[in-house]
Amino acid sequence: MTSFDLSLYLVTDRELSKGRSLSYIVEEAVKGGVTMVQLREKDCTTREFYELGMRMKALLSPLSIPLIINDRLDIALAVDADGLHIGQSDMPWQVARRILGKDKILGLSVETMQQAEEANRMDVDYIGISPVFATLTKTDTLQLFGLNGLKEATSLSRHPAVAIGGINLQNAAQVVNSGADGIAVVSAIASVDNPRQAARELKLTIKKEVPNEME
């Protein structure tokens, strides 16, 4: 499987990118230290999603930054992405795994403690703990995990775990100190004036925290 580093995971949303192109946001974010990118565009035709996917692949592949496609197994295959992220209402993980093959990265959102526990019996490569905090970026979610829920979910999970939902410079340190292997963000990078600087600051914050925790 493609190796991956969940520490600073950018999830895209053109609508929240203040009129700037996806390529600009992603390029700047990568220069700031993003380790993984998920193409998540909800308002998109299939053709447009495919073309964006091809553009992202051309941009990220030479930099060895994994490209993950949200929801769309067909697009992940068509652009030969590094992986797919699915939620509880998306393609069943067994089907996704069978079609993607064992070499691709498969991520799964877990929205409850029970789902985190069930994911231990699934052949997925990481879980997204969704959501940790409230966010306006995605509102069709169940309960918030909060930091205590995040601690419990990361301790019971056998999978690497990325936290998502309402994560920013103010709370990122607490998130990684609660056991997450990384943070996934949309607005904290895509909606700010300087995405490169935002990524750099987030990266510094989480890098600082993980070793401190281990000491």
Ligand X SMILES: Cc1nc(C(=O)O)sc1CCOP(=O)(O)O
Ligand Y SMILES: Cc1ncc(COP(=O)(O)OP(=O)(O)O)c(N)n1
Query: Residue 153 carries which side chain, given as an amino acid letter?
Result: A
Catalytic residue among 40, 72, 104, 196: 40
Q: Which residue is nearest to ligand X (CB)?
A: 130
Q: State which of residues 5, 74, 90, 209 lies at the interface with Mg ion (CB under 5 A).
A: 90
Question: What is the DSSP secondary structure assignment for residue 119, as one 8-state letter?
Answer: G
* CA atoms of 29 and 200, how far apart (whole Å): 8
Query: Residue 89 carries which side chain, given as an amino acid letter?
Result: S
Is 40 a catalytic site residue? yes
The pattern of x and - marking residues 125 through 164 that bind ligand Y according to CB under 6 A reads ---x-x-------x-----------------------x-x
- Per-residue CA distances from 202 to 33, 61, 209 (Å): 9, 23, 11
User: How does strand 126-129 pair with strand 8-11?
Assistant: unpaired
Is 138 a catalytic site residue? yes
Token pair recorded at residue 61: 């592949």
* 35-64: contacts with ligand X (CB under 6 A): 40
Q: Is 186 in the site for ligand X (CB under 6 A)?
A: yes
Secondary structure class of 5 (helix, strand, coil): coil
64-7-79-189 Cα dihedral, nearest 10 degrees: -110
From Mg ion, ligand X, ligand Y, none, interface partner of 151 (C-beta below 5 to 8 A by class): none
Number of Cβ within 10 Å of residue 33's Cβ equals 17
Peptide bond into 131 cis (omega under 30): yes
Residue 109 assigned to a binding site: yes
Q: Is 82 in the site for ligand Y (CB under 6 A)?
A: no
| Closest to Mg ion by CB, 18 or 42 | 42
| Closest to ligand X by CB, 57 or 138 | 138
Task: Yes or no: say if 190 and 10 are a contact pair by the CB < 8 Å rule.
Answer: yes
Question: Please, what is the minimum distance in Å from the beta carbon of residue 168 to ligand X?
Answer: 8
Q: Is 44 in the site for Mg ion (CB under 5 A)?
A: no
Q: Is 71 in the site for Mg ion (CB under 5 A)?
A: yes
From ligand X, ligand Y, Mg ion, none, interface partner of 162 (C-beta below 5 to 8 A by class): ligand Y
Residues carrying an active site annotation: 40, 109, 138
Q: Which residues bind Mg ion (CB under 5 A)?
A: 71, 87, 90
